[in-house]
Structures are given as structure tokens and as C-alpha cells.
Structure 1
Amino acid sequence: MSTEVGLPYSPELTVDEANAEAFARLDGADPWVVDVRPAREVLPGYRDNLVLTSGAPMAWADYTGGQREALIGGALFEGLARDRADAIDGFATGRIEIGACHDYSAVGSLAGIYTASMPVFVVENRAHGNVGFCNFYEGKEPRRLNYGCYDEGVHERLLHVNSVLAPVVGEALRRRGGVALKPLIARALRMGDEVHSRNAAASILFNREILPAVLDMVDDKVPGVRETMLHLAENDYFFLRLSMAAAKASADAMVVPGSTLVSAMAFSCRGFAIKLAGLGDTWFEGPPPIHEGKLFAGHTEDEITWMGGESPITETIGLGGFAQACALSLQEYQGGSPEVMIERNREMYAVTHGENSTYRIPLFGFRGTPTGIDARKVLETGVLPVMDVGLAGRDGGQIGAGVIRAPRECFADALAEFDRRFPGR
């Protein structure tokens, strides 16, 4: 299934030339986080009655399980509905609108819920002039809105993000003049992160970057500074939303007519989907991803459910599972062994266009991470892209972590459409 979009085509470029250009634009991206603002103020075309969620666009009736519950929770949090029944009626009648995060230059973790008042990181790609966004991490409590949960505790934590944490971080970024994310991520890889399922080093490095501004804010008696810094200090996953926004701003610059490189990967409650850099905003959908992982104590395999997720934008630009050999400590969190993680990472070189010039893997002699998934190579080799993810439970909340692989069908459909649009290429 795909969503059509028109895209001009330059007949001078061969597929290999288009891929080289798309890769160069991705590899040359320069993402800077410059601000934190409410979604209504910065996301293009945002409307107050709009709730964004992860994955390819769908009708309200197609959303099920935790992703449907997260949408309802978002509507209640934003005050768009009086109660659950009113929220359901609002979505069914169109009084409350649903949008896909990617259509608004944004990405969302798991269900990826955005509402008008929610703060988002603003990341500028200074090499190409485009902007990417990601919303805030809710905290380490397993019951979170992006995991399909909404109750009084979730509501209070979201309000705390809106009223305390986001204003402080935004003010620090503005005083700092922004923070360059690419060198920070490169250093975090050397310190044991892959900036998808492990962000401990990157979170510490980010805190250090904003510290001078934070100290000035303490002197200026800005409210909430101590509370915010303590929150950042105890939440290793805080940086994931920054790596996602950096990846989105980087990948959106890849659009080159005639390229077969993947520019986005995401999933919803219905299945997995990809975009190709040469086919613009067209999504190609397949079944849910193949998974293996480690569950938290007290949970079983039959509880695992899919409720969306766009954090694989990190793998799209050569991070996450494509830098898994940087983060061997993940075996304790998501299962597996060092040997398996290393072999998975090496596999990804077979399906990518090149090696990243900035993101490097010490264990591989500082070889660049495999970057720029080529749909042609996925079909030729049979090697499916690997991603590090959190696992959601059918009753809401995170119940484990693991590794998924994209389904082959997405790539087959994408290349079939590519051949139709560009015959003989």
C-alpha cells in the first residue's frame, strides 16, 4: 500500500548517481538543537485540534490497541474531549483530527503522540536548511502515553514536562545558541552508546553542553532549574528524543529523485512501513516487524504488541542497530550476546550504500557505521535491516526491549513502484 506524491525527476542521474547524491546529503547533514517550543508554535501547519501519531497515515477506524488508547489519551490531555466516549466521537466525526508525525517534519517514539501544547525539540540541519522535531521524553516510569497509557499519573507527568522541564531546557538552549548534535553523537558512540536503545553517555554529554547556561540561569533565579537538571541526570533515555530529531532533520535532506535509499522507517499498530529518498512522501507498508528480545520480569511473549514507533529513524541514518557494536552492554537490557550483536552490525554493511564519515565504531577499527539502506541490496542479499527497540505490552506500558527486523515486503513493493515510475532505470 502506498500514498502517492508527485516528485520531479532528473533524467541525467542514474540510480547509482542519485544514490551517491542522497548519501552525500545524509552524510553531510549538520543537525543543531536550537530551541524547545510548543508544537502549535513550530510544527508546520499545526492546528489546535490535531493529534499526531506514528506510522503511515491511517483513518481513525484503523487504529487499534495501545495506539488507539494513546490517541484517546492525547485528546484528553489536551482538553479536546470531556471523557473517553467524547474523544472517540471526536475522532470518529473529525472534530479531533489525526495526523502522521512525519507529515509535520516530526518523529515520535512508540505511539508518538503530539498535541498542540506539548513541547518539541527544534533541530535545524544547518547544511541543508531543513528542520526536524521530536517531543519530550516523559520519564522512566513504564506507564507512559507513548506506550498507550493515560491515567492521573501520566497526566501529571506530562503537565510537569510542559510547565517545568521544557521551559528550562528551552531557555538553556537559547542562551547557549544551540548545541551541535553530530559531534556529540559521534563521541557518545565512542563511549558505549548507539543512541537508540542506549543513550547514557549522550545524555551526560548534552547535560554538560547546557551546563554553562544552566549556571547562569541559577544566578538569574530562573524557576525549575534544579528540578530539571536532577530529572535529566537520572533519565539516561532523555537524549533519545534529540537523536531522533537529529536523524529526522538529516534524513529529510536525502530526497533525490531516482534514489533507492531508504529515507524513513516506521511502524504503527497495523504494520511496518518505509519511504525511499527517490519516491518522496510515498509510504510502502508491510506486516509487523520480526522481533526477538528480553522481557522484564513477570511478562510473557504473548503480551507483546505493536502500537507504533518512529525511533528507527536512527537506524535510517546509520545509528541504533547499525551501530550496535558500539553498545555491547545492551545485551543485559535486550538480550543476545556480544558475538551476535557484532555479527548483526557487520551484516548491515551488505545492505547500505556507504560508511558514515562521522559516526564510527571503535570495535571495527573506527570503521564508519553502515549508512544509507539501499532497497535494492536488501532484496539482492536477503538481509533485513535491524533495529533496537523497546517492547510494548497489550495492556500498555513497556514490558521489555529487543531487536526487530524490517519485513521484506516493504522493500519489494517500494522497488516495484520505483520501476513503474522510472522504467528502465
Structure 2
Amino acid sequence: MVSAEATGGVAVAPGLSIESANAEAFARLDAADPWVVDVAPAGEVLPGYKKNLVLTSGAPMDWEDYTGGQREALIGGALFEGLATTREEAIKGFADGRIEIGACHDYAAVGSLAGIYTASMPVFVVENRAHGNVGFCNFYEGKEPRRLNYGCYDEGVHERLLHVNSVLAPVVGEAIRRSGGVALKPLTARALRMGDEVHSRNAAASILFSREILPAVLEMVRDDFPGVQETMLHLAENDYFFLRLSMAAAKASADAMVVEGSTLVSAMAFSCRGFAIKIAGLGDQWFEGPPPVHEGKLFKGHTEDEIAWMGGESPITETIGLGGFAQACALSLQDYQGGSPDVMIERNREMYSIAHGENGTYRIPLFSFRGTPTGVDARLVLEKGILPVMDVGLAGRDGGQIGAGVIRAPRECFEQAMTAFEARYGTR
């Protein structure tokens, strides 16, 4: 097989049929071995990162195309990083290009909701030891509904981001390094058996991660390393801490499945404009459609007309067989995002119809430990008329989280992808 570097990032499998190419892409995904090995500022470890760059979610767009909460989050990121001193200055900087906008996926990263990265923000560095590539994700800001990734920036958000930079990230990073890295795949598999689906529910995974780094943390207490108690209390009270590790692990896993001639989906993400996917056999090209179809449960005091789309790349977890594709592991989610156990189980079973195979590591106890449906095949989505399902948080038009629910990718993305696939390869 020719190297991925020689072909613009796409692994070439000469002479493979679609079925063989899909089998190769699935095998690479299934064999992925993600380890978190470090925490470092984005500007130091993301490839080609510039000091004046702010990353955000979804397929790349021009500044004027960003609206609502995603636009506000970009402005907040520029202010936090000191790229501008006022809102007006930030807007002018984006408009004239002095402040650059980038897409997270182009930097081997993924972002939750608006997905804002700036140079000083710490990121998890996750190494796929099976294939040698790396994925990144920044830190969870905490459970306060008003967060930068939900389109909010004020003094409280600013202080919480500084706290992540100066206290939480240094402690977690040191613990990871002293531990020699943490294998995330077996941890995730165990969390599924304990009631997580590792997208909208991460309670078990967060506890398991804390346990993995505990020996190193105790050493750090002995060495009077600053901020240890505060950081561990933060981990203890924030069930969503592990989501960012799950996302980075999923990104490192999914990037390795890009194989010439494959129709498997290698990324799913959305922006304020709409939803988009990538296909393993078409490299870095995005295929966009309208915003996703959703159903959910809103927090008290909020109404359906408040829901706003401002981006999101956490569906990278569904791309590798987690989240909505492991929903039957996490029936307690009904209390958070609505629905019923019967609906969740049926929805999860439905995903097998559009998946290439079953995951060799991530398994669903309720289905007699059957592997999660993994590797969405764009051909099957169109043939079966079944759209991929994802568990997500719901943002409000005025910023902040106002609920949670389930979304489905729009059919248009898959139609465009397969049209492009046919134009390139001459066949479906």
C-alpha cells in the first residue's frame, strides 16, 4: 500500500473494489489504539498553528457566513486570546483577515459545539499507536450553561477559561505524563458496560479516567504540585470531563480510516449554516446539507423556538461507533434528552442497517455484547433511507445550553457525497 503522505493524506489501496476498500477502512478504524499522552497549548502542538488563528467547528466558511452563537464564540475567542481589545475591533480583525479563522478538522482537531480554539488554550494530545497519527481536543469548561463553546463570552467565561489554562490543564497534563499516557480504548469499552455511550453520557468514563491517573496524582500531592486538590474536585463534579478525551480519541481513530475507494463516512460535523460529512474515499472534501433534524428535551423555562445551531463536531464519536450508535448502553439518557428505553433500543438497532460492521472492542451488553454498529456506509444510508443518529446538547439563540436531544444527519449530504464519488470513480 502506498503511504498516505504520498497521496495527500489518503491511503491508496490499488485495485480494490468498493467492498474491499470499505473492509480496509473498517479494519483500520477497528484496529485504532488511541492513547492520551500529553496536554499542551494548541499553538505549540497543532500542525501549522498561527498566533492569530481561531478555530471553529464545521466545514470552512468565510467570516461573513458565521452567524448567531458561532459568530459570537469566534469574537469571544479573539477577545480571550488578546487578538482584539473590543468586540468591534475583533469583528474588524476577522473582516480584514488580521484575525484568521480555521476549521478544527483541518488541524487534526475537533471542537464541541462552536468548537473554539485559540493558541493559548490547552488541548489533549491523543496518539493513535496503531497508525501513528494524532488527534486533539480542547478542555471542557465546566458545567455552567454559559460557555464559550455555546456562544457566550463574559467575565465569568473569561475567568473559567483562565482557570483551565492556569490550574486544571497543568495538573491533568502532568498526571498524564507521569502515567506514561492513558489507553483510552479499553477505558471507553468499560464505560459502555457501566452505562455510558461516551457522547452525551460520560459519567463512568470520567470516573475511570480519574482512577487511571490517581497514582500519579498522589505522587503530585507528595511533591506539592500546585492545584491538585482543586483539579481533582473539578473532575469529580463534572461528568462531561471525559467527552473531550472521547472526541480526541475518535478523531485520531477516524482519520486513520481514510482509504481510496471507500464509501464509509470519516467525519460528521455541523456549523451555524448546516451539517456536513466526509467520505473516506474522498479525502478532505466536505459535503454539506441543511441543519440536522432534531428531537429533544429542553431545560425548564425554554421553548422549541429558542433552539439555534452554532456548530458541533462531537458527532465524531458516532463516526466510530459510539454516542447514538451505542445508545442502548445508556438508557438513563432518557431523563436528560427525552425519549424512552424502547425508542432508544430500536434507534440503536436501526443503525446496524447502515453500518459496515460491528466494533470489535465497543460492545452493547443489552444486545448480548454485540459490537456497536460502526462505519457508516453512505451507500446504505441512501439505499435504506435511514439517517445516522447522534446524541447532542442543544444551544439557545441567546447562547448557552438550553437542552439535549437527538439529531439525524440530512440526506442531502450523502446524496452529494455519492454523486462526487461516482464522478471520481465512475461507479457506486
Aligned residue in 2 for 1:420: 423
1:203 corresponds to 2:206: yes
Tell me, which stretches of 5 or more residues in structure 2 are unaligned?
1-7
Correspondence for 2:58 among 55, 61, 64: 55
What is the distance in 2 between the residues matched to 1:37 and 1:9?
33
Within-5 A mapping of 1:10-409: 10-409=13-412
For normalisation by structure 1, the TM-score amounts to 0.98
Q: Secondary structure at the match of 2:40?
A: strand
- Residues 95-139 of structure 1: per-residue CA shift (max 9 Å, x gap): 000000000000000000000000000000000000000000000
What RMSD, in angstroms, separates the aligned Cα atoms of the two structures?
0.9
- How far apart in 2 are the matches of 1:70 and 1:146? 6
SS in 1 for 2:256: helix
- Aligned to 1:121, the other structure's residue is in SS state strand
What's the secondary structure of 2:277's corresponding residue? strand
Deviation by residue 1:118-167 (Cα, 9 ceiling, x = unmatched): 00000000000000000000000000000000000000000000000000
1:149 is paired with a residue whose SS is coil
Change (3 A) 1:247 1:270: same
Q: After TM superposition, what 4+ stretches of structure 1 lie above 3 angstroms from structure 2?
A: 5-11
Distance 1:225 1:38 in 2: 19
1:11 offset after TM fit, Å?
4.5
Separation in structure 1 between the aligned mates of residue 118 and residue 292 of structure 2, nearest angstrom? 27
Q: Distance in 1 between matches of 2:242 and 2:350?
A: 27
Q: Helix, strand or coil for the counterpart of 1:32?
A: strand
Distance in 2 (alpha carbons) for counterparts of 1:82 and 1:35:
31
**Quick one: distance in 1 between partners of 2:280 and 2:332?**
33
Q: How many residues align?
A: 421
CA distance in 1, matches of 2:406, 2:13: 38
What are the superposed Cα offsets for residues 40-59 of structure 1, whole Å, 9 maximum, x if unpaired? Answer: 11000000000000000000
- Aligned mates of 2:11, 2:323 — CA distance in 1: 32
Q: Do the aligned residues in 1 keep the contact of 2:52 with 2:98 (CA within 8 Å)?
A: yes
Q: Could you tell me how far 1:82 is from its partner in structure 2?
A: 1.1
Percent sequence identity over aligned pairs? 86
Q: Does structure 1 conserve the Cα–Cα contact (< 8 Å) formed by 2:124 and 2:136?
A: yes
Distance, in Å, in 2 between the alignment partners of 1:41 and 1:174 is 16
Secondary structure of the structure 1 residue equivalent to 2:229: helix
Whether the 8 Å contact between 2:125 and 2:134 is mirrored in structure 1 is: yes
Assess, with a 3 A threshold, how the Cα gap between structure 1 residues 258 and 293 changes in structure 2: closer, same or farther: same
Other structure's SS at 2:98 match: coil
Displacement of 1:305 in angstroms is 0.4
TM-score scaled by structure 2? 0.98
SS of match in other structure, 2:403: strand
Q: Which moved more, 1:42-51 or 1:7-16?
A: 7-16
Q: Return the alpha-carbon distance in structure 1 between the equivalents of residues 16 and 418 of structure 2.
A: 17
Deviations 1:18-48 (A, max 9, x none): 0000000000000000000000110000000
* Secondary structure at 2:373 match in 1: strand
CA distance in 2, matches of 1:320, 1:186: 12
The offset of 1:424, in angstroms, is 3.3
